[in-house]
């Protein structure tokens, strides 16, 4: 991946702009009360924590968490095993390549010619097997079973992935409960949507790029799921579009923290009290960069729509219900084929026909 194929050079309007604000801090939230609560002040501190989460979701769509309870060892073991995997020959990595039938495993930018992302990836499911619809067509009720594809080398990768996913899943449920309470809902109001989750974890490797001003590590996008929880190294490169003025700013890495952003599903559930935010990743000309995003997704049969507790005559539902599994299938189909139509978005289900 050392040379830039001209077909992957970004159009000028999509390239990183030099006006990007450097290393702006998004809210940094301390979750230590969840790990070791102080019985003398738990109510007051919990109220403050819930308010902080709500403010971050409303005003930024992004925040970082520290003292989150995910053992550092599990993260380090996965980073080491992941680096070993990406260091293998391309031939060996491609033995576990993902495809249109089973979008789990390895791929790089050569797999999807319509994507100009400067990276290579390994995806694995939190629940394996996972059921998803065979087709995005609404009348097709058939399901297919997705299973993880594990490489032979390094042999420790599978265990490192599974242990890490289990630990971050605990954090995901804690955050989901805090977000639910910040919306005035019961703590576990959202948990039931994830009983048969379609959650997956991605290992991202961005190799040094000789022309970082011509490509992106990941192009501008919003996440379609519920929550994304990202471990990023000290290289940095995540950029977020600020809600107040539309300026792009780079997120400063915080040691051992996780970057969290709400996705489109939270935007719909909250009836746009909270909104997902555009973000992208830029590449580095000198150093490799590794990130590990955890994408929290509900069960395939989930009908995503504004929650009834958050809608009334004064606040009517802004979205029609859509089936998450069909939505997911349509997105995956669009990612593997260079379609002449826009990939499906939640804006297609907005009652007014306008995105928020």
Residue 2, pLDDT above cutoff 60: no
Is domain 6-349 given the CATH code 1.10.8.60 in the classification? no
Distance CA 16, CA 283 (A): 10
Residue 37 pLDDT grade (very low, low, confident, very high; cuts 50, 70, 90): confident
Distance CA 240, CA 252 (A): 11
CB 86 within 8 A of CB 175: no
Distance CA 315, CA 182 (A): 18
Residue 286 pLDDT grade (very low, low, confident, very high; cuts 50, 70, 90): confident
Residue 211, pLDDT score:
64
Nearest one of 156, 138, 168 to 71, comparing CA atoms: 168
Residue 340, pLDDT score:
45
Residue 25 pLDDT grade (very low, low, confident, very high; cuts 50, 70, 90): confident
Find the mean pLDDT for residues 9-32: 63
The structure tokens listed for 199 are 């959650």
Distance CA 241, CA 252 (A): 14
The full DSSP string for 193-247 is GGTTB--EEEEEEE---S-TTT-BSEEEE---SSEEEEEE-TT--EEEE-TTT--
Find the mean pLDDT for residues 229-246: 92
Residue 304, pLDDT above cutoff 60: yes
pLDDT in tens, 57-89: 999 999 999 999 999 999 999 999 999 999 999
CA 293 to chain centre: 6
The full DSSP string for 242-298 is -TTT--EEEEPP-TT-EEEEE-HHHHHHTTTSS----EEE---SSS-EEEEEEEE--
Higher pLDDT: 101 or 227? It is: 227
Higher pLDDT: 36 or 4? It is: 36
Distance in Å from the first CA to the final CA of the chain: 37
pLDDT in tens, 241-263: 999 899 999 998 999 999 999 99
Find the mean pLDDT for residues 47-51: 97
Secondary structure of residue 30 in the 3-state scheme: strand
Find the mean pLDDT for residues 316-337: 85
Find the mean pLDDT for residues 341-347: 78
Residue 332, pLDDT score:
76
**Other C-beta atoms within 10 Å of 4: how many?**
16
Distance CA 292, CA 28 (A): 19
Find the mean pLDDT for residues 227-248: 92
Find the mean pLDDT for residues 329-350: 72
Instruction: Give the Cα-Cα-Cα angle 122, 228, 347 (nearest 5 degrees).
Output: 105
Secondary structure of residue 341 in the 3-state scheme: coil
Residue 12, pLDDT score:
40
The structure tokens listed for 197 are 């989750």
Residue 276, pLDDT score:
97
pLDDT in tens, 121-148: 999 999 999 999 988 888 888 999 999 9
Instruction: Give the Cα-Cα-Cα angle 67, 70, 72 (nearest 5 degrees).
Output: 95
Burial label for 295, CB within 10 Å (0-12, 13-18, 19+), is buried
Residue 263, pLDDT score:
98
Distance CA 242, CA 245 (A): 6
pLDDT in tens, 168-194: 999 999 999 999 999 999 999 999 999
Across the chain, mean pLDDT equals: 87
Find the mean pLDDT for residues 307-320: 96
Find the mean pLDDT for residues 205-231: 82
């Amino acid at each position: 991946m050392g040379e830039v194929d001209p077909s992957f050079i970004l159009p000028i309007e999509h390239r990183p702009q030099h006006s990007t604000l450097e290393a702006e801090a998004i809210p940094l939230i301390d979750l230590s009360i969840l790990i070791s609560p102080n019985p003398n002040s738990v109510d007051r501190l919990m109220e403050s924590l819930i308010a902080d989460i709500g403010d971050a979701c409303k005003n930024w769509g992004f925040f970082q968490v520290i003292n989150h309870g995910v053992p550092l060892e599990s993260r380090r073991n996965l980073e080491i095993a992941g680096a070993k995997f990406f260091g293998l020959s391309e031939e060996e990595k491609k033995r576990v390549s993902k495809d249109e039938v089973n979008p789990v495993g390895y791929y790089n930018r050569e797999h999807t010619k319509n994507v100009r992302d400067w990276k290579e990836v390994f995806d694995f499911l939190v629940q394996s097997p996972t059921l998803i619809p065979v087709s995005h067509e609404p009348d097709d009720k058939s399901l297919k079973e997705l299973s993880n594809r594990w490489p032979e080398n390094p042999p420790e990768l599978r265990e490192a992935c599974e242990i890490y996913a289990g630990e971050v899943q605990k954090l995901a449920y804690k955050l989901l409960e805090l977000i639910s309470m910040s919306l005035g809902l019961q703590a576990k109001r959202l948990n039931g949507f994830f009983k048969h989750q379609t959650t997956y974890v991605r290992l991202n490797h961005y190799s040094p790029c000789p022309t970082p001003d011509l490509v992106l590590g990941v192009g501008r996008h919003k996440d379609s799921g519920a929550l994304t929880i990202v471990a990023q190294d000290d290289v940095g490169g995540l950029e977020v579009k600020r809600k107040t003025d539309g300026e792009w700013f780079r997120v400063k890495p915080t040691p051992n923290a996780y970057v969290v952003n709400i996705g489109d599903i939270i935007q719909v559930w909250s009836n746009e009290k909270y909104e997902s935010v555009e973000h992208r990743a830029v590449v580095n000309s000198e150093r490799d960069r590794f990130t590990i995003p955890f994408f929290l997704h509900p069960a395939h049969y989930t009908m995503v729509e504004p929650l009834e507790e958050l809608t009334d005559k004064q606040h009517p539902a802004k979205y029609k219900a859509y089936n998450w599994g069909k939505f997911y299938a349509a997105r995956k189909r669009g990612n593997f084929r260079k379609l002449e139509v826009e990939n499906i978005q939640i804006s297609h289900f907005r009652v007014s026909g306008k995105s928020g």
